[in-house]
A and B are shown apart, each in its own frame.
Chain A
Amino acid sequence: MLEGFKRFTSNKGAAIGLFILLIVILTAVLGPLIYSDSPWRMVQRPFLPPFTVDGLPLGTDALGRDVMAGLVHGARVSLLVGLVSTVVALVIGVPIGAAAGYFGGLVDDALMRFTEFFQTIPSFALAIVLLAIFQPSLFYVILAIAVVSWPPVARLVRGEVLSLRSREYVEAATLSGQSTFQIITRQILPNALPPIIVLASLMVATAILLESSLSFLGLGDPNVMSWGYMIGTARTVIRTAWWLSFIPGVAILLTVLAMNLIGEGLNDALNPRLSRKSR
């Protein structure tokens, strides 16, 4: 594990990713303390370009709101939605995948058909329908994202469990009288952890993209300032104030990029197939 961490930090991409993510996390945690006012408040006249007025480094939007304040509060939403919806997706996907992989047979068939169903339906359209019918609030946004993103987890965990359950040490554990629950949680899942961690870090990235897309379409929580919402409202004025769409997009791009870089670094560090080859 320690060796893995060393491999991770020596990966240039992962180091850059970690650096960007740390900045985003700091912004999300400390930013709202500095910009303690509501990001919805009008502070100046509208359409001030960036770097023109002191105290408003990124200017104002179509309603005279501080773009910088919006960006800072948006970081919090993006990270929160990304993390929580990933956790929820894991909570749904891991047990389903583990049960399907371990018990096999009819249980597997039933659970996998169920998973396949959710994987086949266009996830983004499903999220839209869910949010359009239920009230768009942060809770439902997170739920909708989790509901559409758990199937890959279930499939991955199933595959891992399927290959691990026929390992001889699992058979040995069965013979030694351990319960099924113990075998799954103590023998199998810990060994399936590395690919799950990698997938989870990539899922955070996807969830952030999904959240921004939903808010862009106006399906985000109307009480929460988010990057996608900022782009969505700036879209109509793109010809006159292009930076209003541009800036939040760069924020999303960097955050997602950082998560992807970290995911890749984790993948190289935790699945060291190359280092095994030199045996």
Chain B
Amino acid sequence: MSLLEIENLAIALPAGADRPFAVENVTFSLHKGEILCIVGESGSGKSMSANAVMGLLPEGVTPAEGRIMFHGRDILHLSEENRRDIRGKSISMIFQEPLSALNPLMRVGAQICEVFEAHNLLTPQERMRRAVELLTEVGLPEPEKAVRAYPFQLSGGQRQRVMIAMALALEPEILIADEPTTALDVTTQAQILSLIEDLRRKHEMAVIFITHDFGVVADIADRVIVMQTGEIVEQGPAEDVLLRPTHPYTRSLIAAIPGMKERPPEAEGKAGSQESPVILSVNGLNKTFSTGGGLFKQARVVHAVNDLTFDLHLGETIGIVGESGSGKSTAGRCIIRLIDPDCGTVRLSDVELTKLSGQSLRMARSKAQMIFQDPFSSLNPRARIGRILTEGPIAHGVPRVQAMERARELLSLVGLDPSAVDRFPHEFSGGQRQRIGIARALALDPDVIIADEAVSALDVSIQAQVLDLLADLKARLNLSMLFVTHDLRVAAQICDRIMVMRRGEVVEMGPTAQVLGQPNHEYTRSLLAAIPGRHHEQAMRLAVASE
């Protein structure tokens, strides 16, 4: 007997949305104690059915059809009051952003106690005692102290643990987790995932886990549902869906996962051999930030980049890998002088960038360009593509007509129609915008490109396309590249050498195969171990081998 039956669910979007229904014809069931993963790319409607179960659909979005049966009762059409009884008690939920999901003005303990209060359970003292017990169970250090903390005093992973404690308070039968690890670093993600596993086993709780990451799916799912533009395209046991996907969309998604596979040998050695001349040389680069200093306050000093030294050879790609706060992005920006380093030198070809300023810096910097993370904030929303691509060359004295001609060429080079010059950024999709960003970086004929999390904000299938484009351009134009990323799998695909950073320091650097295959440093090993989907990859390889 299944715990939850969703039958033929359709959810209507408000008028004017890009499609009439957020989800349509959604039918699935959830069994006691299982982890069901709903996977899909952004806009697939994967969160909507879960929100409908909780009765937490956004304003203007309404269920149009179907039933959600829980204990023989249709909870989709319950009154708000009856729904409140279920929420938090029988079904609870955790969210993606652990910071904004907690009330910033209330102590953590009080927020947990509220769950009991909402259902009129226990006395205030008992509630607080349970809150401490719950925080102990989810593994928060010093739970007695933690109940008195405010959310801003906890780290992202700790906040997500608090959310989980809150969701567990009344031993619900179902836990809905909406991308609960997406905002977390990979090592924290691994911890939270294993916590959810443990708790599900201990409490025999069913979990609906919503994610876009097939690696996560491979690690925890019992069953999988794949959604595309509001419809279920495939569902079944995790092993079947992952190893023997039937629907072409599922297959394309799985194929697009950047695996830890070694790169094809022809790419090795052809470009980026260390015998080619050094194009960028970084020596003893340092940057510290001090925050919150004031008349009556001690400033806090953070070493964002500590003594960074390396050489980038012509045609080579070096990956700078690290978790958030590791200083990897600051390093990239210091090299190109978007942030001024405290000390150290950066030589680009034969120019010492760190010595320049004003006009000479502006001129020299054209040889090093950057590709950015966020396809939505990396293009000026009020400028046409033509202007975006020509501003740089014009500032360097290229005549307007010629610059425009080049802009059209660049657009075809990155796989877009040259007519795009007359359009505005908002007319393009995320992946297309990223291509425009790449074209802009190429407009000044740079020697070195710094790509800052250039594919992190993209859906996995788009990610693969953009990575292919970058690899192709790199080979054709003999570019050298610094590839800043938090994702070791992405780095594995495109980098010749990898540099692992933690808290501003380089802990390990070496050829990609060595760093990923036989890491020297313990931190690199823990990063590698935390990558979701590793076991699946082995299974995949075995499956392929046995065929």
Contacts and interface: CB of A to CB of B under 8 A. Distances in A.
Interface of A: 167-169, 171-179, 182, 186-187, 190-191, 277-278
Nearest to A174: B338
B365 A169 contact: no
Interface of B: 13-14, 16-17, 58, 60, 333, 336, 338, 362-363, 365-366, 368-370, 372-374, 377-383, 388, 391-392, 395-396, 437, 440-441, 443-444
B383 to A, nearest CB: 8
A277 B13 CA distance: 12
Given A177-B395, A178-B391, A178-B392, A172 B372 contact: yes
Contact of A182 (B365, B379, B395, B396): B395
24 contacts: A168-B377, A169-B378, A169-B380, A172-B370, A172-B378, A172-B440, A172-B441, A173-B391, A174-B338, A175-B336, A175-B370, A175-B392, A176-B444, A177-B363, A177-B396, A178-B391, A178-B392, A179-B362, A179-B395, A182-B395, A187-B383, A278-B13, A278-B16, A278-B17
B60 A278 contact: yes
Contacts, number: 68
A48 B287 CA distance: 79
A175 B365 contact: yes
Given A177-B392, A178-B392, A178-B395, A171 B380 contact: no
A210 B247 CA distance: 69
A277 B370 CA distance: 30
Q: Which residue among A167, A179, A182, A187 has the maximum number of chain B CB atoms within 10 Å of its CB?
A: A167
Nearest to B42: A279
B381 A168 contact: no
Nearest to A275: B16
B369 A169 contact: no
A191 B440 contact: no
Contacts of A277: 58
Contacts of A182: 395
Given A168-B374, A171-B338, A278-B16, A176 B382 contact: no
A171 B441 CA distance: 12
Q: Which 9 A-B pairs have the closest CB atoms?
A: A176-B392, A168-B372, A168-B378, A177-B362, A177-B395, A169-B380, A167-B377, A178-B395, A190-B382
Contacts of B362: 177-179
B366 A176 contact: yes
A175 B338 contact: yes
Nearest to A182: B395
A90 B333 CA distance: 34
B381 A191 contact: yes
B366 A169 contact: no
B14 A175 contact: no
Contacts of A169: 377-380, 388
Nearest to A187: B380
Contacts of B388: 169
Contacts of B379: 169
A169 B382 CA distance: 11
A171 B372 contact: yes
Contacts of A175: 336, 338, 365, 368-370, 392
Nearest to B16: A278
Contacts of B381: 191
A206 to B, nearest CB: 28
Contacts of A172: 370, 372, 378, 437, 440-441
Contact of B366 (A167, A168, A177, A190): A177
A191 B380 contact: yes
Contacts of B369: 175-176
A196 to B, nearest CB: 14
B489 to A, nearest CB: 23
Q: Which residue among A176, A177, A187, A190 has the maximum number of chain B CB atoms within 10 Å of its CB?
A: A176
B14 A278 contact: yes
Nearest to B338: A171
B377 A177 contact: no
B365 A177 contact: yes
A199 B391 CA distance: 31
A274 B305 CA distance: 40
Contacts of A177: 362-363, 365-366, 392, 395-396, 444
Contacts of A190: 382
A58 to B, nearest CB: 48
Contacts of A168: 372-374, 377-378
Contacts of A191: 380-382
A187 to B, nearest CB: 6
Given A168-B372, A182-B395, A278-B16, A176 B380 contact: no
Nearest to B363: A177
A172 B439 CA distance: 12
A191 B381 CA distance: 8
Contacts of B374: 168
A166 to B, nearest CB: 9
Nearest to B378: A168
A175 B369 CA distance: 6
Contacts of B336: 175
A104 to B, nearest CB: 12
Contacts of A173: 380, 391
Given A187-B383, A278-B14, 5 more contacts: A168-B374, A168-B378, A175-B368, A176-B440, A186-B391
Nearest to B389: A176
B365 to A, nearest CB: 6
A193 to B, nearest CB: 9
Nearest to B382: A190
A186 B394 CA distance: 14
A179 B365 CA distance: 13
A205 to B, nearest CB: 27
A108 to B, nearest CB: 14
Contacts of B395: 176-179, 182
A186 B380 CA distance: 10
Nearest to B58: A277
Nearest to B333: A171
Nearest to B390: A176
A38 to B, nearest CB: 48
Contacts of B368: 175
A249 to B, nearest CB: 41
A171 B377 CA distance: 10
A190 B381 CA distance: 10
B2 to A, nearest CB: 34
Contacts of B377: 167-169
A44 B14 CA distance: 64
B544 to A, nearest CB: 39
Contacts of A167: 377-378
A187 B336 CA distance: 20
A25 B424 CA distance: 36
A182 to B, nearest CB: 7
B89 to A, nearest CB: 30
A175 B440 CA distance: 11
B327 to A, nearest CB: 17
A126 B37 CA distance: 65
Contacts of A187: 380, 383
A278 B43 CA distance: 11
